[in-house]
Amino acid sequence: MSSLAANDERAVPATATVIQPAWVRIAHWINAVAMIVMIMSGWQIYNASPLFAFKFAKSI
């Protein structure tokens, strides 16, 4: 076998906790809230139009 098998334990780096800066976390949550608001407003626009009524035809 190769000589790397004995050195595998040293090759594994220690896990480091990466914490994002505060501005990245704040920007993430602002974008998450904005997406929810846009989805909800788009849904209201969709429901307001009689052209897109969610009804099945009686022939089906």
Q: Where are the beta strands (DSSP E) in the chain?
A: none
User: What is the arithmetic mean of pLDDT over 44-59?
Assistant: 74
pLDDT at 53 over 70: no
3-class DSSP assignment, residue 26: helix
Reported for 29-38, long-range contacts at CB under 8 A and 24+ positions apart, including other chains, are: none
**pLDDT tens, position by position, 28-47:** 999 999 999 999 998 888 87
Q: Which of residues 8 and 60 earns the better pLDDT score?
A: 60
What pLDDT does 8 receive?
54
Residues 19 and 59: their CA atoms lie apart, in Å, by: 58
For the question of whether the overall pTM of this predicted structure is more than 0.75, the answer is no
**Predicted local confidence at residue 21, as pLDDT:** 93
